[in-house]
Structure 1
Amino acid sequence: MELEDQWWKGQLAADIHQALKNKELKLPPYKGQSPQLNLRRYFADLISIISNSFWLCPTSRHLAVYLLDLFMDHYDVTVQQLHMVSLSCLLLASKFEDREDRVPKLETLNSLRCMSSLNLVLTKQGLLHMELLLLETFNWNLYLPTAAHFIDYYLSIAVLDGDLHDGWPMANLEKTKLYMAKYADYFLEVSLQDHVFLCFAPSLVAAACVAASRLILHLSPSWPPRLQRLTGFAWENLMPCVEKLLIAHDSDVKEANKQKCQQQQQQQQGQTVFHSSGQPATVTQYLQLPSSMHCPQKAPQAGLAAGHRSASYLGHPASGLQGPPQHGDAQPVATSLDPKPAVATRAYPVSSHYSYPAACFDR
C-alpha cells in the first residue's frame, strides 16, 4: 500500500500501524456465499504459485486472494472466468503493492507451464476489461489491509532476550528469530488457504500467527505483555484463531509423517518402520495452560511441516497443479459477469463495512 520498505523499523511505525488498524475497521463484510466456494482453495493456490514464480511480495499475494474472495462473494463466476479473475486480481495487487519491475507481463504469464497445462490463454484486451471491472467493483480503492501487512511489525518484537525456551534462557537468539519468522510465514500461508480466517480481523490473524509460532517454539510466556500492548489483543482474543492455526499445523505434520511412513514402507518392502514418537503435540496440549505458563512438554517436529498445503512451501513446479474441470482447447477468457442473487449459505462477517460508496455490493 505504497509503504516504504521495512516501515516497521522507522519512526512512523506506530502511526502506520494505527492507520492500518483504522482502515481494517472499514473493510467490506465477507459472507462466504459464493456458489464456487469449493474452488476457492484451488484458485488461492494458483495465485500463490504464480506470485512465487515472479517473486512477488507476500502483501501482493494476500491482497490478490482477498480481492478474489470479495469478488467471488458478490458474483456468479464460471470456472473459466475464475481463472481470468484470479490472475487479474494478482496483477492489480502486484501493481499496488510490489515493485514495477516485478509486475507480471502478459507474455511471461502465457509462457508459464501452469498456463499451458490449464489450456489457458490470456489476451491483453481480456485482462484490461477484467481489471477495469475489478476496479469498478471496489470503487477504485485497493487500500485493503491483510494479515501480511501487519506481520512484520509484530515480528519486530516477537522474540527478545528475556524470553525463555522450555523454561531456560535462549542459547541462540538470532536462530530463534529465524525460526520465528519461518513459522510465522507458515501460519500466514495457512490462514490464506481457508476462508474461515476472514471472520477475524487481519491484525488479529497476524497476531495469532505470532502467538502460534511462540507456542510451537516453546517460548514463554507465550503471549508476553509487550506483544499484547503492541497488537492490542489479549490472549483470550487470539485463542479461537490460534486454535484453528494449530489444528492445521497438526494436520500437516500428521500428513507429512504419513507420507514419510509410506516411503519407508516402500523402501523396506512393506515392513513397518513408523514410530508414534514422531507425532506432534495435540492442540489441546498447546492450549490447556494459561498464556503466562504456556510451555508444551512435548515438541512437534522442529522443521516446517513438509506436508503443508501452501504452494509457497510445497516447492513443486507450477505444472504440478491439478485444476478443476478441463476447459478444452486454448481460448481467450470471457470477461462478462452478472451479479448474482444472495445465496443462503453460512456467513463469515467482518465486524465492519465500507466507508465509501460501493453500489456494486448493494443488494
Structure 2
Amino acid sequence: ELTMPMYTESSPQIGMRPYFIEFLSVVSNSCNLCPTARHLAVYLFDIVMDRCDITVKELQVVSLVCLLLASKFEDNQVKVPKLQYLNHLAHLCNVDVVLNKQDLRRIEKVLLENFQWNLCLPTAAHYIDYYLCASVGANDRHNGWPVASLAKIKPLLEKYAYFFLDLSLQDHTFLHFRPSVIAAASVCAARICMQVSPMWSKELELTTWYFWEDLAQCTEMMLMYYNYVVKEASNTNQQAIIQKQEHEAVGNLSHQPAAEVFFQQSSYKPLDQHSATFSLFRSPVPDLCSAYRDSLQAHRPSDLLAGSADSSLYSYTARPASLRPSVQTLPVQAPMAVQVP
C-alpha cells in the first residue's frame, strides 16, 4: 500500500469519472468478473486518467483495456472477456469504440509500461474477505440483544459490506484512503446499518490492526453517500409514481371533466442535512442494489459515454456539501434497524 502510485486529482476529465466507473461496472457485471478484477480495473483507470491528459474517446478505449488487463491478472482465464464481446457491450452502452487486436496489444503494452509491468496493486477488494471472517462474533449484540444466529446475520452483513465496498468506487476522494482502510470501513459501516454493537469489535481490531479512530472519517463518508443514494432512489421512485398518477388523472378527466383529482403526498420525509451523520440512518432499505442502480440512472445522460462533454456533468464539486469529506468526526447516534429473520 505504501508504494502504490499517488493519486493527485489532476485530470481535466475528472467530472466525467462517475460515468466511466459506471460503464466499467456494467461491463464487468456483464462479464461476471470477480470484485478484485473490477476494483483493479477502476484503480488502473484512475491512475491513467490522473497522469495523462487524453481525450474522452481515448478514455473510453483505456477503460476497456484496463478491464481486460485486470481480468487477465485477477480472474479465471475462462472469464476474460473476448474482444468481440467487449465491442458488443460498448455498442450497447452507446460507446463509439471498436477495438481490434493490433490496437489492443499496443495500448496494453503502453499501460503496462506506465505501471512498470507491475499489476500487483492491492485494492479494497483484496482485503474484504479476510476482514469479513471477523465481521460478527458471538460476543456481539444485534439491536441490543445477543446474536441469536451467526449463520443468519453474517450473510446479510456481508451483503451490506460489499455494497459499501462498491459504493467507494463512485467517488475519487476515497482514493485518498488506503485500500485496507476502505475495506475495514465497509465492514464497520455494515455493522452500523445492521445495528450490531459495538460498532468496531476487539476481534476486528486484532484482525485489521485498525481502531475505530482510524476508520471514523472513511466510515462517515460511506454512510453519507449511503443516505444520499437512498434519498435519490426514493426521489426517483416518487417521480415515477407522480407521473403515473398524472397519466391516470388525465384519463379520468377526459371522461369526467368536472371531477377533482387529489394527488397523494409522498410519505418520504427529507432528511435533515444538518443533523449528526449517523443519525440519518433510521429506516431499512429493502434492496440496496436496486436503490443504488436507480440513483445512478437518475444522473446518467444518454449520450455521455458516446463522447459528449456537456458542462452539466455531475462532478464532485457539484455534490452537496454534506458529501464532501470532513476532518472532524461527527458524534455517533442510533443507526438504522434491520430485521434479521
CA contact (8 A) 1:147 1:188 kept: yes
Q: 2 CA distance for matches of 1:306 and 1:111?
A: 25
The residue correspondences of 1:310-349 to structure 2 (distance < 5 A) are 322-324=302-304, 326=306
Q: Distance in 2 between matches of 1:160 and 1:281?
A: 33
Q: Which residue of 2 aligns with 1:83?
A: 60
Match of 1:133 in 2: 110
| Offset, 1:91 | 0.5
Q: 1:286 aligns with which of 278, 282, 292?
A: 278
Which residue of the other structure, out of 282, 289, 292, is the alignment partner of 1:308?
292
1:59-90 Cα deviation digits (max 9, x unpaired): 00100110011111111111111111111100
Correspondence for 2:256: none
Give yes or no for contact 1:135–1:141 (8 Å, CA) kept in 2.
yes
Whole-angstrom CA distance in 1 between matches of 2:265 and 2:41: 43
CA distance in 2, matches of 1:44, 1:50: 10
Query: What is the DSSP-based 3-state SS (H/G/I as helix, E as strand, rest coil) of the residue aligned with 2:17?
Result: helix
Q: How does 1:345-356 map to 2 (within 5 A)?
A: none
Aligned to 2:267: 275
Q: Is the 8 A contact 1:109 1:115 kept in 2?
A: no
Equivalent pair of 1:158/1:210 in contact (CA under 8 Å): yes
Q: Spell out the pairing of 1:228-267 with structure 2 (5 A cutoff).
A: 228-267=205-244
The residue identity in structure 2 corresponding to 1:199 is H
CA change 1:185–1:225 in 2 (3 A) is same
2:127 to 123, 142, 150: 150
Deviations 1:226-251 (A, max 9, x none): 10111111111111101110010001
Amino acid at match of 1:301: V
Give the aligned residue type for 1:124: K
SS in 2 for 1:307: helix
Q: How does 1:14-29 map to 2 (within 5 A)?
A: 24-29=1-6
Measure, in 1, the Cα distance between the counterparts of 2:120 and 2:66: 14
> 1:107 — aligned with what?
84
Partner of 1:163: 140
Aligned residue for 2:290, secondary structure, equals coil
**Contact residue 125 and residue 183 of structure 2 kept, 8 A:** yes
Measured against aligned partners, the alpha-carbon deviations of 1:179-206 in whole angstroms (never above 9, x if no partner) come to 1111111111110111100000000000
Does 1:72 find its partner at 2:72?
no
Which moved further from structure 2: 205-214 or 301-310? 301-310
| Correspondence list, 1:172-183, <5 A | 172-183=149-160
Per-residue Cα deviation, 1:67-116 (whole angstroms, up to 9, x for no partner): 01111111111111111111110000000000001111111212226457
CA distance in 1, matches of 2:73, 2:199: 35
RMSD over aligned Cα atoms: 2.8
Q: What is residue 206 of structure 1 aligned with on the other side?
A: 183
Name the CA distance, whole Å, in 2 between partners of 1:186 and 1:278.
23
Q: Which amino acid aligns with 2:302?
A: Q
**Do the aligned partners of 1:243 and 1:283 also contact (CA within 8 Å) in 2?**
no
Indicate conservation of the 8 Å contact 1:253/1:280, yes or no.
no
Deviation of the 1:117 alpha carbon:
2.5
Alignment CA distance shift 1:62-1:116 (3 Å):
closer
Whether the 8 Å contact between 2:125 and 2:165 is mirrored in structure 1 is yes
Structure with bigger RCO (C-alpha 8 Å, 6+ apart): 1
Q: Distance in 1 between matches of 2:29 and 2:158?
A: 18
Given the superposition, is the C-alpha separation of residues 64 and 305 from structure 1 closer, same or farther in structure 2, using an over 3 Å criterion? Answer: closer
What is the TM-score with the length of structure 1 in the denominator?
Answer: 0.74
Seen in structure 2, the aligned counterparts of structure 1 residues 309 and 283 have a Cα distance that, compared at 3 Å, is farther
Distance 1:281 1:232, change over 3 A: farther
- Using the alignment, how far apart are the partners of 1:218 and 1:198 within structure 2? 27
Cα deviation per residue 1:257-297 (whole Å; 9 max; x = unaligned)? 21232233344446124214696999725279xxxxxxx7x
Give the 3 Å change call, closer, same or farther, for CA 308–84 of structure 1 in structure 2. Answer: same
Pairing of 1:58-69 with structure 2 (within 5 A): 58-69=35-46
Alpha-carbon separation, structure 1, partners of 2:275 and 2:167: 16
Residues 286-337 of structure 1: CA deviation (Å, up to 9, x unaligned): 279xxxxxxx7x4443541633159xx97x8xxx983427459xxxxxxxxx
The residue that corresponds to 2:14 in the other structure is 37
- TM-score between both structures, scaled by the size of structure 2: 0.78
Please give the alpha-carbon distance, in whole angstroms, between the structure 1 residues aligned to 2:148 and 2:105.
54
Aligned partner of 1:124 in structure 2 is 101
For 2:230 and 2:93, how far apart are their aligned partners in 1? 33
